[in-house]
Every structure is written in structure tokens, then in C-alpha cells.
Chain A
Amino acid sequence: MSGAVQFYISTLLVYLAVDVMACWALNLQFGVAGLMNFAFIIFQAAGAYTAAVLTLGSPDASGNFQSYVFGSSMPFPLPLLAAAAVGAVLSLVVGLITLRRLRSDYQAMVMLVVSIIATTVVTNEIRLFNGPAGLSTIPQPLADVLNLDPLDYQWFYVAMSVVICAVVYFFVHRITVSPLGRTLRAVRDNDAAAAALGKDVTRMRMFAFVVGGAIAAVSGAVLVQFIGAWAPGGWLYPETFVLLGAVIIGGRGNQLGSIVGALLLPVGFAEATRFLPPIGRPGLIDALQWVAIGLLILLFLWFRPQGIFPERRRTFDGSGTPNRAWTR
């Protein structure tokens, strides 16, 4: 393979890993726990911002050409962990406002507002977030230690993303197959019944929301350290819709489905239009791409609402022991 093709493929693989992680996080919230998190993208953005400022160093060092807070140069895994912590704390705050006593459509509506307002605040707070310009020259993790040539570093980053992905998979999988996961699904399917059986519905929702927010933040951190730039315009509410679409298309509540969904929608769809010849005025293809994404999701909700890989229901044999298929 030529260098350029390798470069392209490795970049796509990192994007895929990021989107798959994000979809798993959203799947935990929306697919397993039934939360309508229309503000999902801001948790990813918050993680990305955290990782960016914790690796950029002090703004004075680079001559203050961009402004941000908490600038420091932490060694590699720390920014990711800090991102996860920020994602979790932010989720806790948003969750306290939206998840208590609110119907799911109320939740969705308020989350949407949260997402739009967050964009407004970030765009206007020049001192904290550098405004609409965002941050650039974010260093890549371990680049100075490894001293690889750019192509080898690309593949190193792919490997690293896959490892982080595997950790996230294991973590989410443990939750969904455990009694805790069963409780989350019970809350999703019938919260009154779950509450009647003594389950703390709000606490269960909060748990899924916070864990999902932390994973979303990690995925954002992995992405921002790869592309080296961060701007509020890249994290608008329609991006949540794309990830939501990926979870629905792949199969709500199914982790394998989330991989397929991420491959089809955020990665596949975005890349397919890249190779179209430029027709019409600038921005026309972008606009039509959003129309196509919207239509695709509507078509799926109409013809195959359970997605390509439907959630596997736990089944039992005659004697009451669970069938093996579930435990895989």
C-alpha cells in the first residue's frame, strides 16, 4: 500500500474507534437505560477540551496566541483519565437537572436545550475556551518519546485506540451482562415496575448517564489528541443525532450493532460523500448529506426499528437456567 492510502486508512480506523466508543457510551445510556441524551456530544467535547488543555502546556509558553484554562503538560494516560473524570462530573450536574422526575420526552427536550446552550456559552467565552476559533497545536501523546516517522505513528495511534476501545468494551460489557445491566433494562422497559420491585430508578439512570458521560469524554480525548485541534463548531447537536442514528441502525441495546452502526453512519456515510464530485454551490453536498442521514434514520425507524442486530433477549430453558447464547 502506498503511504497516502495507509495514511487515509489509519486515520479512518482511529475515527472508527472513536465513534465506536462513543456509540457504546450512547448505547449504554440510550440503548440499555433508555435515556434520551440529546446533549451527548457536549460530553464528548468536554473530554476533548480537557485532554487538549492538559497537554497544551501553559498558554504563556506559546505566546498566548490562544486562551484556555488549566493549561499543563501531563504525561500520556493522565489527560485521558482526567477527561473521563470531567465527563463524569459534568454528567452528574446535567443529570441532577434532567433525570429526576422528568418524563423521557421532557428529558430529551431539556437535553437538546443543554446542548445548544453549551455551544452558545463556549463560543462566547473567549477567555475560557478561545471562542469559536477553538484550540489548535494540541500535541500528540508520546510523539516526543517514541520518535516515530509520521506513518508509523499513525499505526501506533490506531493500535492505541483499539486497546482503549477494548478496555471500554470490556467495561461496558461487564455492566450490561451483570444484574446491574438487567436492572437498567428493567428501568428502561418499565420504570414503574422496577420502582415497585424496590429499584432506585433515578439512581440507576444517573449511573448509566455518568458512566456513559465518562466514556464519551474518553472518546473525545482520543479524537482530539489525534487531530490536534478542537473548536466548538465541531460539536453541535446534530452530531448527537448521527451517533443516535448509528445506535438505532446497528441495533439499540446491542454492542456489536453499535460497531456496525458506527461503521455505516458516522464513518461510512461521511466518507462516501467525500469522493463525490463537487456539485452545486459550496455547502450543498453537506446540507444534502444531513437530509440523507435524516431520511436514513426515519427509514430505519419505519422498516427495522430494532436495527440490524436486535438486542438479544435473555432466554431460559425448561428448567429455568439461562441459555448459553446470552453469556457469550
Chain B
Amino acid sequence: MQASLIVAAVGFGLVTASILAIAAVGFTLQYAITNILNIAYGDVMTACAFAAYVLNASGVNIWVCVVAGALFGAFFSLLLNRFVFTAFLRHRTPLYGMIIVSLGVGLIIQNLLLAIGGPNFFSYDAPSGSTVRLGAIHLTQSQIAIMALSVAIMLAVHLLLRHTTLGKAMRATASNPALARVSGIRTDRIVDIAWMLSGALCGVAGVVLVVNTATFAASTGSSFLVIIIAAAVLGGVGHPYGAMLGALTIGLATELSATMISPAYKDVAAFVILAIVLLVRPQGIMAALRTEATGGI
């Protein structure tokens, strides 16, 4: 195995980690605040990618489509929350029921996309730009843009959670919703915002995933969900910072195993890490670092 191949794989790993971090932070943030495990997340990602595809096909620049995907995701998630998830919660659906509801919603979205788009692969009209070389790492300009976007989003999430009143309210709601309510926080509004934020991240992740991999089909999001879950559980579900760390680990692990073992076993590598973490530290790597001061998230 040539060292340069491994270094190149690290480059691709960082790109995958960047996309994964956006998706996993969205997934885990929504879980932390709403306590609903959203298995439909991957399929919402596909829906956002599809919405961006429709726009892109009519001639809109791909980076504008990323923004459009984010807006679509935010709006779509808000609707899902209002008309499905919160509705079922108010209907006193137990925890197991909520999980099945989210699985059902995911299947419905995925198959509606299949019914609308057909069993085809779609690709964006997005020039990937010239290749940039950093030693053995060869990345396209759009891949570098994706990494920059991801870092910017992570910083924004950090600033939001730590340095704004809204972020404080979100952390309070995640930590103890009843206590947050009696402290005057409108938790239902926070839950709506959490869904929108999660949906926006989901939308960005969905579109940049396709920008990076070039094509998508109706099942793209649900297969990506595997490594989202691996990254989120690795970091401890409900911990955005853990999800970032988990995304970095899983992103590098999948691309390195793709180079060193076989591309078909990318996700299997993620699963092996997940299984080891579950056997050794089921609470995830971030739980130990969690203190009272950080207030849940």
C-alpha cells in the first residue's frame, strides 16, 4: 500500500467528514431538543437533494441550490414536526410508536420520490472546478468549498449554542423541558426552531453530498443514514460536539477502509466502529466530557 494513496484517502475522508458533520449535527441537535429519534432524516435529505435538483435543472447555480435545499429542508421539517411528530406526541403515542412513525414517514418520503422521479439516478449540473493539489491530496475546488462550508456551519452552530439567548434556551429545553417552560422559555417554539435548524442542516448536507458524489437516487439518503447514525451514536446521541468528533472519525474511517480494503466495505467499517463503541462505551465518547455546566448539549 503506497503511502500517497493513504494520504489521498485522508483527503477524501475529510470531505466525507465535512458532509457527515453537517448531517450528524442536525440529526443529533433535533434529537437532543425534541427527544424524537428521526429515522426519516435520511429520506428528508434525499427530498432536499431532489428539490435542489429541480431548481438546478432549470439553470440555477449549484451553490444557490444549496441555500434553496436548506430552506426547503427547514420548511419541510417544520411541516413534519407540526403535522406528524408533535401531533402524534400530543396524541400520547408512546416512544416505540414515535420510532415507528418516523420509520413510516421515511418510507413514505422515499417511495413518493421513487414514484415521482422513477428508479433513475440524478446528477447536478455543477462544475467541480479545477483540482487543487496539497502534496498527495487531490481535491476539487467544490470539495474544498464543501469543507469550508462545513467548518463555517460548525462554528455557527457553536456560536448559536454558546453565545446567544436562543442557544441558551435550546440547551435549557434539551436539558429539562419542564424546567425550561417554568423559566419562561416557550419550548414549543424552541422545538419548532430545532426542527427547522435540523432540517436546514439536513438540506445542506443532502445537496453537498450529491455535489460530492455526483449522482443520487431515491435511496441515497437512507443509505447515508447508516453513517449518520454511526457518527451520532459514536459522539453520544444528543451531543452536537460529539457528533462533530464522531463525523471526523467515521468520515476518515470509511474513506481509509475504502482505499485499504474495498469501497464496498466503507459503511461496514463505520459499523465495526459503532459496534465496538456500543460494546465498550454505549453512552458515546462525549458523555464523559459532559458536565452540569454544559447543560445537556
A and B form one complex = yes
A307 to B267: give the CA distance in the assembly, Å.
Answer: 37
A36 to B39: give the CA distance in the assembly, Å.
Answer: 13
A100 touches B282 (CB 8 A): yes
The answer to whether the Cβ of A110 comes within 8 Å of any Cβ in the partner chain is yes
The answer to whether the Cβ of A234 comes within 8 Å of any Cβ in the partner chain is no
B229 touches A109 (CB 8 A): yes
A293 touches B107 (CB 8 A): yes
Give the residue of A105, A287, A302 whose beta carbon is less than 8 angstroms from that of B88.
Answer: A302
How many A-B residue pairs lie within 8 Å, measured between CB atoms? Answer: 117
Q: Which residue of A lies closest to B87 (CB)?
A: A302
B37 touches A105 (CB 8 A): yes
A124 touches B264 (CB 8 A): yes
A248 to B101: give the CA distance in the assembly, Å.
Answer: 12
A249 to B99: give the CA distance in the assembly, Å.
Answer: 16
B39 touches A298 (CB 8 A): no
**Which secondary structure characterizes the binding site on chain B?**
helix
Known: A109-B39, A302-B91. A97 touches B115 (CB 8 A): no
B271 touches A290 (CB 8 A): no
Interface size on A, residues (CB 8 A): 43
Give the residue of A101, A113, A124, A288 whose beta carbon is less than 8 angstroms from that of B271.
Answer: A113
Set of chain A residues within 8 Å of B262, measured between Cβ atoms: 124
A250 to B275: give the CA distance in the assembly, Å.
Answer: 34
The answer to whether the Cβ of A276 comes within 8 Å of any Cβ in the partner chain is no
The answer to whether the Cβ of B97 comes within 8 Å of any Cβ in the partner chain is yes
B115 touches A288 (CB 8 A): yes
**B46: shortest Cβ distance to chain A, in Å?**
13
The answer to whether the Cβ of A98 comes within 8 Å of any Cβ in the partner chain is yes
A102 touches B39 (CB 8 A): no
Q: Which residue of A lies closest to B104 (CB)?
A: A294
Known: A97-B275, A109-B37, A121-B268. A298 touches B282 (CB 8 A): no
A106 touches B104 (CB 8 A): no
**B41: shortest Cβ distance to chain A, in Å?**
11
Set of chain A residues within 8 Å of B101, measured between Cβ atoms: 298, 301
Set of chain A residues within 8 Å of B88, measured between Cβ atoms: 301-302
B112 touches A291 (CB 8 A): yes
Set of chain A residues within 8 Å of B119, measured between Cβ atoms: 283
A248 to B278: give the CA distance in the assembly, Å.
Answer: 29
Q: Which residue of A lies closest to B263 (CB)?
A: A124
Q: Which residue of A lies closest to B271 (CB)?
A: A117
The answer to whether the Cβ of A104 comes within 8 Å of any Cβ in the partner chain is yes
Give the residue of A98, A241, A281 whose beta carbon is less than 8 angstroms from that of B278.
Answer: A98
24 residue pairs of the A-B complex, CB under 8 angstroms, read A97-B275, A108-B37, A109-B39, A110-B274, A117-B271, A120-B264, A121-B265, A241-B104, A283-B114, A284-B115, A284-B118, A288-B111, A288-B115, A290-B111, A291-B112, A294-B104, A294-B107, A294-B108, A297-B100, A298-B101, A301-B97, A301-B101, A301-B104, A305-B94
